[in-house]
């Protein structure tokens, strides 16, 4: 999705979520590109932290702001919640044993799963929110404040 084509009252919120998506995708690539086991562990833990914060913001603020706008959006939100739970399970497995033999497998599945989730979110959910003209200005401010709070807690 091209951020320059997002309407002004949605640009900050959707843009922030897209920025998170891009940051995690770069880390997925960095993990894949390195052969250093210590670096893989470090990248994996960074991704887990970023995804946990991102999912929390979406679940607490962004998704509720879209809930009830339309049946199609509600269906997408239901699916996203299930996808988040699967990602949380994989994150828990990685965080439980980041130096373990299953790191590569768990991280690979997490990256594939999250990449699919990002495609659906940006390709479907965001487009439906734009089409429904949902005003996300207040949502953007709440998301930014919550992200800052969560990042301080995990620092």
Helix 8-33 and helix 103-120, axial crossing angle in degrees, nearest 10: 160
pLDDT, one tens digit per residue, over 67-116 is: 999 999 999 999 999 999 999 999 999 999 998 899 999 999 999 999 99
Predicted TM-score (pTM) of the model is: 0.94
Assign 153 a pLDDT band (cuts: 50, 70, 90): confident
User: Quick one: which of 40, 35, 154, 155 has its CA closest to 99?
Assistant: 40
User: Tokens in use for 11?
Assistant: 């640009």
């Amino acid at each position: 999705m091209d951020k320059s084509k997002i309407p002004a009252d949605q640009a900050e919120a959707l843009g922030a979520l897209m920025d998170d998506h891009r940051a995690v995708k770069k880390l997925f690539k960095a993990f894949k590109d390195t052969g250093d086991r210590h670096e893989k562990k470090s990248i994996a833990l960074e991704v887990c932290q970023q995804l946990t914060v991102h999912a929390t913001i979406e679940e607490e603020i962004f998704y509720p702001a879209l809930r009830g706008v339309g049946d199609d959006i509600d269906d997408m939100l239901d699916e996203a919640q299930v996808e988040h739970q699967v990602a949380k399970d994989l994150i828990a497995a990685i965080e439980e044993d980041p130096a373990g033999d299953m790191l590569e497998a768990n991280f690979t599945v997490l990256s594939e799963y999250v990449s699919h989730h990002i495609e659906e979110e940006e390709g479907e959910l965001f487009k439906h929110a734009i089409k429904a003209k949902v005003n996300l200005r207040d949502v953007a401010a709440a998301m930014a404040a919550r992200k800052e709070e969560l990042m301080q807690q995990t620092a």
